[in-house]
Structure 1
């Protein structure tokens, strides 16, 4: 079973439109849809905002639906100055940028007394996502580290600091929680993010219009990935 988590209702609706043998059910107060896409068994849900929601949704996918792969899609703010609005980042890894226990001698982003705080994405899923991304948006797909925090970043100095400190390509609010939950359960994952802005308040694209564009692009990538998995 392949677990697919969408951040936007628009992209979830596109996936559901092609779902065969669809069954809707509620688990832990969350609506899930099971069925097949391109002959592959899938379970699809729309994630709430923030790391706690993302971790809960991921764990339910694994525990109750036996998901053995997890794909997460949505939008993010660019940290890498070379990224532009509409570009796509495929996770090489994910880390929490707001985990800060520096007064106890730990580096920023490090979870105390835990071996891993920067969780690598599955290489096979990354390769398939990159191939699908290049087909959906030629020349606009990049691999990179994704940072997550329960904060909406809209400050230029913070953008520069996150990029320099962590080497992050983009920032959002869920990916690292999905990555950690998957790692703890030994389930491969990949996060796919479309850049909605430069995380510095400078976005000139109408967000409502971009959401439609990003949803179509995310759907195209996931749809193509399922053909290859």
Structure 2
């Protein structure tokens, strides 16, 4: 064992308490959560504000990972290296790709995949064809062929996989939340005609692109059987898997990823969606018992 390494890691720890990491990507997503943290204390590492305290009766470490897959992976690992994180809970907004879902619904996907870990194939004779030595995971959308991502973990070295599962115990607790009073109206009195609902299970996908395209939305729904699409959750799920930390993500729909009748609705409903996700996360924390 590298004792000097252990001593250095121990010295880098900013807080000795086991805590649940509650994380968001987009600053408006964490406004309600940050305001609800009791005994809050701020830490700063590499320009990232990290808040410790209590939320819904749980000891938490709250922070923004930043938008994008790279930011999500980098910042999640940064916090895991400096805090004793017993589990990870993601709270935020997403684009809805399942036609059965509507704006402000909250989705708790059972697994997450990286749909833009992909081959952009060349076209020959009117067909897109990846190199024969590359294994692809799913049928293509034009030149885009999704494929598995490589990951290393303590489970046994390197492997390739497409899906990263939410923790079974956390998902079961989410399934017990039941009816939640979710908001229908934004701050400027833009109101939805429907009552938002909570949906537990199914697939979520993440990639480096903001999607506002009806054809691609349909492809993601039909091919990957996805309910939601965002730019961070699958990266966090991969970091959680690599570190052996339980993970779950709550995503409320701010828009329909190009499936709406008019212009993209994110700017109208992002605050409403963020508040709905935060409300469900806090309810979840009261029902679920952390592993330690």
The TM-score with structure 1 as length reference comes to 0.91
Q: Please, which of 39, 64, 76 is the counterpart of residue 21 of structure 1?
A: 39
Residue 223 of structure 1 deviates from its aligned partner by: 1.2
Mark the runs of 5 or more structure 2 residues left unpaired by the alignment. Answer: 1-18, 120-129, 137-145, 151-157, 183-194
Cα deviation for residue 54 of structure 1 reads 0.6
Contact (CA 8 Å) 1:136, 1:221: kept in 2 or not? no
- Choose from 105, 116, 135 the match for 1:106: 135
Pairs within 5 Å for 1:1-229 = 1-101=19-119, 102-103=130-131, 104-107=133-136, 108-111=146-149, 114-132=159-177, 134-137=179-182, 140-142=197-199, 143-200=201-258, 202=260, 206-229=265-288
- 1:67 partner SS: strand
More helix by share: 1
Instruction: Rate the CA distance shift 1:71–1:203 in 2: closer, same or farther, 3 A.
Output: farther
Name the CA distance, whole Å, in 2 between partners of 1:70 and 1:210. 25
| Alpha carbons 2:53, 2:59 under 8 Å: kept | yes
The number of aligned residues is 229
Larger Rg: 2
Q: Secondary structure at the match of 1:41?
A: strand
Report the TM-score, using the length of structure 2 for normalisation.
0.72
Alignment partners' CA distance in 2, 1:53 and 1:223? 24
Any gaps of 5 or more consecutive residues in structure 1?
Answer: none
Contact between 1:78 and 1:171, CA under 8 Å: does it hold in 2? Answer: yes
Q: Tell me how far 1:196 sits from its aligned partner.
A: 1.6
Tell me by how many angstroms 1:3 deviates: 0.1
Q: Is the 8 A contact 1:130 1:141 kept in 2?
A: no
Deviation per CA, 1:83-122: give whole Å up to 9, x if none: 1111121011000001114433311231257232210101
- Paired with 2:176 and 2:196, the residues of 1 have a C-alpha distance of 11
Q: Structure 1's 199 and 209: CA in aligned 2 closer, same or farther, altered over 3 A?
A: closer
CA contact (8 A) 2:65 2:76 kept: no
Instruction: Kindly state the Cα deviation for residue 14 of structure 1 after the two structures are TM-superposed.
Output: 1.7
- How far apart, CA to CA, are the structure 2 residues paired with 1:133 and 1:78? 21
